[in-house]
Structure 1
């Protein structure tokens, strides 16, 4: 008794999880729900609601038992000459025909009859629109390989030849329960496709636009790379001298100017605004003047006037220092 109850609980949990997946999981089942409603709206101006949808895997023998009596069986052709089925129950077929002939779904009791070629011709564009919508919704989904690429090829009014038409393989079956014409009729649609699809692979998703943080970081990196490639002029300074303005104005070609503090051991690299960057020793390299940089960095130029005064005061001999 306890084992039977436990088995029943497990079965209910499995059924509930399957129903939940069919109702809201992404993929062919959700895409088919939307594609059916849009095709009925756009092609027939017919309100169609999928009240429930289930996705199962079935053998050929099981598929042959699925079509309801007097249903329209549309044979579908897909990738690699694969064949599938789209089965409309009599109420679903009647609602689609009435939407085109009467402009509305009557809801009257249906007379028992077999579907005709005229019925198939009238609903075929809507079926193709639904299949196309399903394919488009799966452009980036793995289910595209088995659910994409199928279109209407022909119809059967009797399920008995299906055993000769379809391959003896496993099939994926999506069963959609429908409410048509705002509840005027209740019907069903079966979509039966080969389980191992041979269709196109899904496209890779394009990268979305970067967020503000990523865009700011990318801009900063690009700007930094551009700045680092900018030319920078450096002056190699051997010595500096101060001369009276009158002497400078009287300089002549050939005149010799003494550089008492010049030293080839201490040549400074400075920026155009006089900021020292490095020191080195003057020499030669491959016949050209060259400077070998020293390990020690030069003292940075102070820009604060108070700092400059303190630096100059510290450089004076002790007897000459004066403080306020």
Structure 2
């Protein structure tokens, strides 16, 4: 009789979330802090579940009129974050009005402008998740993702995402003023990110490591690099005559042959001009070794043999 009761209790007990407590605790803290620090919005979790699902199962549970953000991850991995209309409306209302009204707005389909306004909060939350999982095993699959683009319709997800297993973090959140909604984070189950940092022995940490500390400080120093598309040589009188509206022709300038150079003109690498997440970017195609600069020896004045020796030398014989 006791065994029967024990089995019934085990069946009624909820299954432990896969990946917990690392990703469970990390996502709770990261999303709540991002909402509070970015716009002063108090976000609380009512529940959070972490499950493994297939791509077909994920496509069936996309919330109606949800804001869909495509996430770019390590090694070409793609993820998705889905915000219910009530969550999106609360984030937009807090940014535009500074508060949440007592009467929530009518549900509507999210627009590209809405996605641009909440992209910063999403990136801040994902960065906070990386920090929370710095020493957790879940960093391998949950770390390194950032907001990439907005999807107007969930149907392309079936073609954009790989047909593999995914970890789905589904959360019901409270946003104040009686607002509530769902936030779903979908990430590839296969770990493609960095492994967590290993904890070192206390004695090893306390040991003097002057060389490593000095190297870290040097590597943090700023170094200016210029992306040179083309060069043009002009006479001085033509340079002095330059005025607004003057057009300079670059005969050898090409977007796929950009040179990355130091401030003194030393060529470091070559690449081509493009863009990444809406910003101008330079994709390196090849790199060359940098020759160390040998300091010039100070010049020592030479005395001609025909010159007369100074009087003190003549007196010494």
Question: Could you say what secondary structure the match of 1:18 adopts?
Answer: coil
Distance in 2 between residues matched to 1:70 and 1:139, nearest whole Å: 34
Q: 2:21 aligned with 1:18, yes or no?
A: no
Distance in 1 between residues matched to 2:201 and 2:102, nearest whole Å: 49
- Counting matched residue pairs gives 204
Give 2:116's match in structure 1, choosing from 96, 121, 130. 121
Say if 2:104 and 2:179, in contact at 8 Å, map to a contact too.
no
Distance in 2 between residues matched to 1:208 and 1:26, nearest whole Å: 25
Shift of 1:157: 2.6
Query: Larger Cα Rg: Structure 1 or Structure 2?
Result: 1
Query: Unaligned stretches of 5+ in structure 1?
Result: 211-324
- Closer/same/farther in 2, CA of residues 156 and 11 from structure 1, 3 Å limit: farther
Give 2:193's match in structure 1, choosing from 172, 178, 199. 199
Give 1:161's match in structure 2, choosing from 138, 149, 156. 156
Shift of 1:12: 1.9
Partner of 2:62: 67
Partner of 1:137: 132
Partner of 1:173: 168
Taking the TM superposition and a 5 Å limit, the aligned residue runs for 1:51-90 are 51-90=46-85
Distance in 1 between residues matched to 2:104 and 2:125, nearest whole Å: 27
Distance in 2 between residues matched to 1:67 and 1:174, nearest whole Å: 13
Q: Which runs of 4+ in 1 moved over 3 A?
A: 5-11, 206-210
- Closer/same/farther in 2, CA of residues 62 and 6 from structure 1, 3 Å limit: farther
Q: 2:105 aligned with 1:110, yes or no?
A: yes
Taking the TM superposition and a 5 Å limit, the aligned residue runs for 1:1-324 are 10-13=10-13, 15=14, 17-18=15-16, 25-181=20-176, 183-208=177-202
Shift of 1:10: 4.7
Distance in 2 between residues matched to 1:128 and 1:85, nearest whole Å: 12
**Deviation readout 1:188-245 (Å, 9 max, x if unpaired):** 11000000121011111233479xxxxxxxxxxxxxxxxxxxxxxxxxxxxxxxxxxx
Report the TM-score when normalising by structure 1.
0.58
**Deviation readout 1:150-203 (Å, 9 max, x if unpaired):** 00001113211110111000000001111102x531011100000012101111
Distance in 1 between residues matched to 2:193 and 2:94, nearest whole Å: 33
Partner of 2:311: none
Distance in 1 between residues matched to 2:178 and 2:39, nearest whole Å: 15
Distance in 2 between residues matched to 1:49 and 1:120, nearest whole Å: 22
After superposing the two structures, state which structure 1 stretch, 105-114 or 56-65, moved more.
105-114
Shift of 1:11: 3.6
Shift of 1:52: 1.1
Q: CA RMSD in A?
A: 2.6
- Closer/same/farther in 2, CA of residues 209 and 44 from structure 1, 3 Å limit: farther
